[in-house]
């Protein structure tokens, strides 16, 4: 178990998408976050108290969350130096980066000497089965996207909260490092061997017979050349009854690939429905979620309204405007909630 409360690491970051792990924890688990650590050249903040490591320990922090991401998910020298300083102050270290803490000799040696713990959130549990595609009981919703980092985790968490507020049993099923830290459990899907991706999701979201919903956090995009394989296995393993499409309307190209433009909403929705039908022929789209954080409120609301009209589906920014309309459609009989996926 990762000891709480947390100090959230921003380091030298100036990329909003690059601090999504720290931001996700600050938004959805503020009660276990005592502050943020950032260097003077970091132009970002989570709105938490800025603390050095010693101050954070004095305030009760027990673990530094390295909630940043870079190309390749590597541990640079600055990050290693900060982690060692944090351990010297009395903090354990948790990371969701691709490069493991346990594979960095300087961190392993410092942890041994100082009696601190290293937590690699991206290490999947052993014994993941191969997917079998057998139909299983229960209700499952999966968020999908035009790209990575467009709000799939936020949307899934908002939907799970919305269902719970309506008295409907709902469980958030985390598939990425941020979601795992928020939920306290899950599977780091992009660290699972390709042959076992669908099986990992079948295991994460098993059959249920209580009338509740599993809300499964999406990953990547079928249209992203780097991550489409993960998205495909996730669609097959989830056997989703419902899909919500997530999109960032101000983004011009795939994240990290300036030579690849974003796909259209219609083609993305159609492709995800088609792939999902391999394991659930009755899958349906129930909404579109827009990340409008970079838009003025009036323009954001107008875009949501236009998109809803174009597709015959409820459209909202789940974090900004709520999820009521999407949940109304989700909880309506499938025959009454069709989508004009070719709009």
Structural contact between residues 223 and 235, judged by C-beta atoms closer than 8 angstroms: no
pLDDT on residue 72: 63
**Is 163 inside a domain boundary?**
yes
Please tell me whether residues 163 and 81 are part of one structural domain. Answer: no
**Is 145 inside a domain boundary?**
yes
pLDDT on residue 334: 60
Q: Which helix (H) or strand (E) holds 244?
A: strand 242-247
Measured CA to CA, the distance from residue 87 to residue 93 in angstroms comes to: 7
**Is 161 inside a domain boundary?**
yes
Measured CA to CA, the distance from residue 271 to residue 262 in angstroms comes to: 14
Please tell me whether residues 180 and 107 are part of one structural domain. Answer: no
pLDDT on residue 341: 45
Please tell me whether residues 212 and 259 are part of one structural domain. Answer: yes
Provide the domain count of the chain.
2
The number of beta carbons lying within 10 Å of the beta carbon of residue 161 is 16
Please tell me whether residues 71 and 146 are part of one structural domain. Answer: no
Residue 259, domain extent = 139-336
The model carries a pTM of: 0.87
SS3 content of the chain, % helix, strand, coil (to 5): 40, 20, 45
Q: Which CATH number do you get for residue 25?
A: 3.40.50.720
Q: Which residues of the chain have pLDDT under 50?
A: 335-343
Measured CA to CA, the distance from residue 64 to residue 271 in angstroms comes to: 40
**96: closest CA among 196, 215, 2?**
2
Measured CA to CA, the distance from residue 48 to residue 232 in angstroms comes to: 37
**Is 49 inside a domain boundary?**
yes
The number of beta carbons lying within 10 Å of the beta carbon of residue 322 is 13
3-state secondary structure of 252: coil
Please tell me whether residues 154 and 221 are part of one structural domain. Answer: yes
pLDDT in tens, 273-291: 999 999 999 999 999 999 9
Structural contact between residues 48 and 6, judged by C-beta atoms closer than 8 angstroms: no
**148: closest CA among 231, 264, 74, 216?**
231
Q: Which CATH number do you get for residue 185?
A: 3.40.50.300
Measured CA to CA, the distance from residue 116 to residue 61 in angstroms comes to: 13
Please tell me whether residues 234 and 319 are part of one structural domain. Answer: yes
Measured CA to CA, the distance from residue 221 to residue 243 in angstroms comes to: 13
Please tell me whether residues 79 and 211 are part of one structural domain. Answer: no
For residue 34, the Cα-to-chain-centroid distance in whole angstroms is 22
Please tell me whether residues 156 and 113 are part of one structural domain. Answer: no
At residue 288, φ and ψ (nearest 5 deg) are: -125, 130
Measured CA to CA, the distance from residue 145 to residue 215 in angstroms comes to: 15
Please tell me whether residues 62 and 169 are part of one structural domain. Answer: no
**Is 224 inside a domain boundary?**
yes
Measured CA to CA, the distance from residue 238 to residue 276 in angstroms comes to: 8
């Amino acid at each position: 178990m990762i000891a709480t409360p947390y100090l959230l690491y921003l380091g030298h970051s100036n990329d909003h998408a690059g601090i999504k792990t720290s931001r996700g924890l600050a938004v959805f688990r503020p009660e276990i976050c005592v502050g943020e650590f950032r260097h003077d050249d970091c132009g970002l903040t989570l709105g938490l108290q800025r603390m050095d490591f010693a101050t954070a320990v004095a305030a009760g922090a027990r673990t530094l969350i390295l909630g940043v991401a870079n190309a390749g998910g590597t541990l640079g020298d600055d990050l290693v130096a900060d982690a060692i300083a944090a351990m010297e102050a009395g903090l354990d270290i948790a990371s969701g980066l691709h490069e493991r803490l346990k594979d960095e000799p300087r961190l392993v040696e410092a942890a041994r000497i100082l009696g601190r713990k290293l937590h690699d959130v991206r290490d999947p549990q052993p014994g993941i089965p191969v997917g079998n595609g057998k139909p299983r009981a229960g209700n499952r919703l999966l968020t999908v996207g035009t790209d990575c980092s467009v709000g799939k985790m936020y949307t899934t968490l908002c939907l799970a909260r919305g269902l719970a507020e309506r008295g409907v049993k709902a469980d958030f099923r985390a598939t990425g490092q941020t979601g795992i830290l928020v939920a306290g459990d899950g599977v780091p899907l992009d660290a699972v061997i390709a042959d076992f991706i669908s099986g990992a999701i079948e295991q994460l979201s098993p059959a249920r017979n209580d009338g509740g919903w599993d809300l499964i956090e999406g990953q990547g995009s079928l249209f992203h050349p780097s991550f489409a394989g993960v998205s495909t296995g996730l669609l097959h393993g989830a056997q989703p009854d419902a899909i919500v499409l997530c999109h960032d309307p101000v983004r011009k190209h795939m994240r990290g690939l300036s030579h690849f433009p974003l796909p259209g909403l219609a083609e993305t929705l159609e492709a995800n429905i088609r792939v999902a039908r391999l394991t659930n022929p009755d899958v349906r789209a129930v909404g579109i979620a827009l990340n409008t954080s970079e838009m003025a409120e009036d323009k954001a609301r107008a875009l949501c309204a236009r998109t809803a009209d174009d597709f015959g589906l409820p459209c909202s920014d789940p974090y900004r405007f709520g999820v009521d309309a999407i949940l109304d459609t989700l909880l309506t009989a499938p025959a009454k909630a069709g989508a004009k996926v070719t709009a």
